[in-house]
């Protein structure tokens, strides 16, 4: 299993974290999602068939792009 913590600058409230949690949890292979409003950090754990590229693409699609 792969785990990654990253920054999503557009997180501003509990609704943001809820949306991120729900959308990423629907991706096949994603095991857990933890998003935090205060730090604007998201931690995702996944295995195949999920991929980092797929996770980043979904976040960009729902207007929560990952910081470079």
Nearest-angstrom CA–CA distance, 33 and 50:
13
∠ Cα 8 11 16 (to 5°): 120
List residues bridging with 44 in a β-sheet: 4, 33
66 occurs within a structural domain: no
At 68 the pLDDT is 80
| Count helices and strands in the chain by DSSP H and E runs | 2, 3
Domain count, the chain: 1
Task: Write out pLDDT tens, residues 2-49.
Answer: 999 999 999 999 999 999 999 999 999 999 999 999 999 999 999 999
Q: What is the CATH number of the domain that holds 27?
A: 3.30.70.100
- Please name the residues in contact with 35: beta carbons below 8 A apart, sequence gap of 6 or more: 8, 11, 16, 17, 20, 21, 41, 42, 43
Residue-number span of the structural domain to which 9 is assigned: 2-61
At 10 the pLDDT is 96
At 34 the pLDDT is 97
68 occurs within a structural domain: no
24 occurs within a structural domain: yes
């Amino acid at each position: 299993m792969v785990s990654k913590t990253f920054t999503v600058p557009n997180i501003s409230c509990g609704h943001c974290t809820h949306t991120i949690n729900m959308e990423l949890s629907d991706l096949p292979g994603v095991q857990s999602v933890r998003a935090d409003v205060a730090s604007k950090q998201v931690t995702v754990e996944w295995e195949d068939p999920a991929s980092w590229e797929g996770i980043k693409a979904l976040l960009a699609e729902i207007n929560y792009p990952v910081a470079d």
